[in-house]
């Protein structure tokens, strides 16, 4: 065999080996893709308020529809400050302001994707729980267990969150089907876009009848904002005429 033939055979062998390596790598990529959970985390959020969304903002509300004050919370389930607010302040807000009919309280998704890699699966899990009227049960479970499923704890948050779904009594078949289909992706996008229209830039952010409070507000701060919002609705005392002077 001539030197030229040897080189040609060697080149052909290298080419075949390279094709084989590409095929193996490609097969590995296909296997990797098929082994991943549904790509809830691939949801793309608008960078500016999107008026083309077919579904308008649709938050999750508790409290009396007749309450004179509405508190909106824009939050990220994976946000540590949101978790602190939930633990320290929200119990008093629900007890003293929501349960008494003073405020109507609405939660809006505002996921911070560049900081929290597991936030979309969490938001989706709560939205899917809402289909079974258990948003707030999942909301509470997510915040109570935040350190179990956040991006630092796991790359498979759904494995943890599915345990919460079972604990709060969801129909798991329906919940899993909702998660697999990313059923509420547009709802999450719409809530986020609504936050952009309100100049929300961080989480948590609160709007109390339109007045903005940024950061994990404590109870006294929220109560003061609620009282200020109520002030214009309170009846103005009628002046009592002075008694005539005795002669």
Q: Taking all residues of the chain, what is their mean pLDDT, rounded to a whole number?
A: 83
What pLDDT is stored for residue 113 in this prediction?
86
CA–CA distance, 159 with 151 (Å, rounded to integer): 13
What pLDDT is stored for residue 38 in this prediction?
45
CA–CA distance, 90 with 153 (Å, rounded to integer): 24
Q: Cα–Cα–Cα angle for 66, 70, 73, nearest 5°?
A: 140
- What are the Cα distances from residue 169, in Å, to 148, 163, 172? 20, 10, 8
CB distance 136 to 129 below 8 Å: no
CB distance 114 to 150 below 8 Å: no
For 55-227, CATH number? 3.40.30.10
Got the DSSP string for 10-47?
Answer: HHHHHHHHHHHHHHHHHHHHHHHHHHSPP-GGGPPPPS
Which residues is 62 bridged to in the sheet? 105
Residue ranges of the chain with per-residue pLDDT less than 50: 3-4, 6-41
Q: Are strands 205-208 and 69-75 parallel, antiparallel or unpaired?
A: antiparallel
What pLDDT is stored for residue 109 in this prediction?
97
């Amino acid at each position: 065999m001539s030197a030229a033939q040897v080189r040609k055979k060697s080149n052909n062998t290298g080419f075949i080996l390279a094709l084989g390596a590409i095929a193996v790598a490609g097969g590995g990529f296909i296997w990797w893709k098929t082994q991943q959970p549904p790509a809830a985390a691939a949801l793309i959020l608008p960078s500016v308020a999107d008026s083309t969304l077919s579904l308008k903002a649709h938050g999750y509300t508790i409290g009396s529809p007749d309450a004179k004050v509405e508190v909106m919370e824009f939050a990220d389930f994976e946000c540590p400050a949101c978790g602190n607010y939930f633990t320290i302040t929200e119990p008093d807000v629900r007890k003293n302001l929501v349960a008494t009919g003073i405020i109507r309280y609405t939660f809006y998704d505002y996921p911070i994707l560049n900081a929290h890699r597991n936030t979309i699966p969490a938001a989706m899990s709560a939205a899917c729980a809402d289909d079974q009227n258990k948003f707030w049960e999942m909301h509470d479970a997510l915040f109570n267990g935040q350190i179990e499923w956040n991006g630092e704890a796991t790359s498979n948050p759904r494995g943890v969150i599915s345990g919460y779904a079972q604990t709060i009594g969801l129909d798991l078949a329906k919940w899993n089907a909702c998660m697999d289909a990313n059923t509420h992706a547009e709802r999450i996008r719409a809530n986020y876009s609504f936050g952009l229209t309100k100049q929300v830039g961080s989480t948590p952010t609160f709007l109390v009848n339109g007045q903005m409070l940024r950061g994990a507000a404590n109870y006294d701060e929220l109560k003061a904002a609620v009282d200020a919002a109520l002030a214009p609705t309170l009846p103005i005392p009628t002046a009592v005429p002075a008694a005539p002077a005795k002669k």
